[in-house]
Structure 1
């Protein structure tokens, strides 16, 4: 069997479990949406940031909202790859923007699950890889993977870029990292992983030109968009960060995060904020456990950058678990532990996680008052 088909054949059980998890989660949410007289498709395709992405896909950049409190929100805060993919789908197929956005996200989620499986299989074997993919599909906030959002696209390019790094396909690693950087602001984590790993490889063998090229190309998507926004705003180096500041998003080394934690602990808050705090804390603990596992350098760098961006950034605290969705290596210690556990105990853990995922995903999309 040709290698790609053989790899897909090995991943088929994991992809089937992932699809079953996400379809069940969408079905539970759809039942509640129908019960309350709302459209499940509208909730999946046009909630929160999805509206901004679909607007960019349809009309290009140029939308700015001015709020009475002086806040200025520009669509330049949103990276261009996902809207470009949606626009490409609507150009080729007779689909509306929301449907095209869901098609892109679902295809990307499947590609991401496949890449995650291959990484897990290479490092720990097929059993751990299958468990890893299932856990990623059953995270409490994994409903995002079924929405018209950018996390599936980023994760797909990240997983395959990291796999290319581990297999020393430097040109593929750099190109995929560049695409990841054009998908989301935290896509720079993929470029960081490629650059650091390539630098270590070049320290051993300076004659590997492909490593040089891969490292040079990796940050191109992220840097290119920041410079484009900066030029458009009249400040090449600071323009994009000024746009993000309008959304109250900035990197302040965790000052805003700790301030919000104090607020959550001392005042009654909506469930989504409390759960976001708990999930972010769990992510930090899982990162510590991942470090103890001593994973390959690219996975460690990639995950570390994502965690630092999520914890060290301020604004939209309720979205921090979503920012950590692409950090799938955080689940490796749990996947390994479940494979070592007794089957009954592992089944209980997976069933509990599934119930939490389906219930909380429905809450986030159909009940929660805060942004996702």
Structure 2
């Protein structure tokens, strides 16, 4: 915690700036910043699950059915727990959980980056995650911060050979968001590498068994791998049983939201449609540049030989975000948990002087705060 203190203090400062700008912007428009953070969009759905349980749905005029079964249960469970043991409401609980989880996520990101690239890179990685344009979501009653915290610490557990902890954290991540599959994939990839090599002190995957692995070390590894998928698989199977559609029940629920996985075809059509008229061409160019940047960052991660679990995790998160077939405006938010993509620019910043690093991150923090306030007072995240 002492080593992580600069990263956590910097993260808290960036988030405080973002909330302060959001409050001022919202007040000028006669709106409540706290309502925007806790009682809009997905936050409302999580609160309904916490207060009413599953089974709530909205039927749209076009026949689509939006069911709250689409939302994984860990955040609503925690909201309900906060409401049960305190005078806070479920919405307040969601904000509190997100606040604490964002700090845990920042600490986890630091732990991973510091383990792989050193202290300065760890601090820069945390601050880069804080100043992302959609970083304001980290302060909302959404599940992104909670999931990122669980994923980051699961990856750190894998990198340091703590297999039972990695498996348990993967279970919790799988109960938080569908992209918990990325954490499971990272645990399985690193574990399989260790099993194939038998013993290793520093394999390419970053995960390790002792040089002379005892049977109990292998047992822990196997148990960690075995329990890792239980969270996401358990909820998906429960939804299938509740809807009567078996293993495809959750996919049917997502289809009601016009959401699915089509390999990026719908997103490609959406981007191509932006080039049909001049005003929208700029948006199309921005989307192409954004996707190219994400792909380029992942290529840099591969070229810099990041540990295998980080590559697998970031790759799955990125693929699921970019190849989803609906809610195209949500893609930047869906990429928030893909923090390993920030390690190459974090390494580059870590090699710069303190003044240069401070100036770059300070400017990004201001831009992020202004954009976040503008975004939430406008279209906002769906």
> What's the TM-score once normalised by structure 2's chain length?
0.92
Partner of 1:233: 243
Partner of 2:266: 256
Query: What's the CA shift for 1:270?
Result: 11
Q: Within 2, Cα distance between the matches of 1:103 and 1:272?
A: 35
Residue 57, structure 1, aligned to residue 50, structure 2: yes
Partner of 1:211: 221
Q: Within 2, Cα distance between the matches of 1:241 and 1:349?
A: 42
Greater mean deviation of Cα atoms: 332-341 or 274-283: 274-283
Partner of 2:330: 319
Q: Is the 8 A contact 2:274 2:281 kept in 1?
A: no
| Per-residue Cα deviation, 1:226-257 (whole angstroms, up to 9, x for no partner) | 00001111111111001101111110011111
Could you say if the C-alpha distance between residues 49 and 281 of structure 1 is closer, same or farther in structure 2, counting changes exceeding 3 Å?
farther
Q: Within 1, Cα distance between the matches of 2:291 and 2:20?
A: 26
Could you say if the C-alpha distance between residues 139 and 289 of structure 1 is closer, same or farther in structure 2, counting changes exceeding 3 Å?
same
Q: Within 2, Cα distance between the matches of 1:72 and 1:277?
A: 31
Q: Is the 8 A contact 2:267 2:324 kept in 1?
A: yes
- 1:309-348 superposed matches below 5 A: 309-348=320-359
Q: Within 1, Cα distance between the matches of 2:281 and 2:296?
A: 24
Q: Within 1, Cα distance between the matches of 2:371 and 2:299?
A: 25
Residue of structure 1 aligned with 2:372, choices 354, 358, 361: 361
Partner of 2:64: 71
Q: Within 1, Cα distance between the matches of 2:57 and 2:195?
A: 45
| Per-residue Cα deviation, 1:260-311 (whole angstroms, up to 9, x for no partner) | 1112233445998876665444222211111111100110100000011111
Residue of structure 1 aligned with 2:26, choices 33, 39, 42: 33
Residue 222, structure 1, aligned to residue 232, structure 2: yes
Secondary structure of 2:10's aligned partner: helix
Residue of structure 1 aligned with 2:309, choices 292, 298, 314: 298
Partner of 1:43: 36
Q: Within 2, Cα distance between the matches of 1:266 and 1:112?
A: 41
Residue 105, structure 1, aligned to residue 98, structure 2: yes
Q: Within 1, Cα distance between the matches of 2:96 and 2:105?
A: 14
Question: Which segments of structure 1 move beyond 6 Å, counting only runs of 4 or more?
Answer: 270-274
Query: What's the CA shift for 1:140?
Result: 0.5
- 1:63-142 superposed matches below 5 A: 63-142=56-135
Partner of 1:167: 160
Query: What's the CA shift for 1:196?
Result: 1.1
Query: What's the CA shift for 1:318?
Result: 0.5
Q: Within 2, Cα distance between the matches of 1:189 and 1:200?
A: 17
Q: Within 1, Cα distance between the matches of 2:176 and 2:372?
A: 23
Could you say if the C-alpha distance between residues 213 and 152 of structure 1 is closer, same or farther in structure 2, counting changes exceeding 3 Å?
same
Q: Within 2, Cα distance between the matches of 1:114 and 1:371?
A: 25
Could you say if the C-alpha distance between residues 168 and 93 of structure 1 is closer, same or farther in structure 2, counting changes exceeding 3 Å?
same
Partner of 2:202: none
Number of equivalences: 364
Q: Within 2, Cα distance between the matches of 1:59 and 1:325?
A: 29
- 1:12-31 superposed matches below 5 A: 12-31=5-24
Could you say if the C-alpha distance between residues 98 and 169 of structure 1 is closer, same or farther in structure 2, counting changes exceeding 3 Å?
same
Residue 156, structure 1, aligned to residue 149, structure 2: yes
> What's the TM-score once normalised by structure 1's chain length?
0.94
Q: Within 2, Cα distance between the matches of 1:349 and 1:115?
A: 23
Residue of structure 1 aligned with 2:318, choices 307, 321, 332: 307
Query: What's the CA shift for 1:37?
Result: 1.1
| Per-residue Cα deviation, 1:98-133 (whole angstroms, up to 9, x for no partner) | 211100000000001111111111111111101110
Query: What's the CA shift for 1:314?
Result: 0.9
Residue 180, structure 1, aligned to residue 190, structure 2: no
Query: What's the CA shift for 1:180?
Result: 0.3
Query: What's the CA shift for 1:96?
Result: 1.2
TM-align CA RMSD: 1.8
Q: Is the 8 A contact 2:274 2:283 kept in 1?
A: no
Partner of 2:210: none
Query: What's the CA shift for 1:344?
Result: 4.0
Q: Is the 8 A contact 1:57 1:84 kept in 2?
A: yes
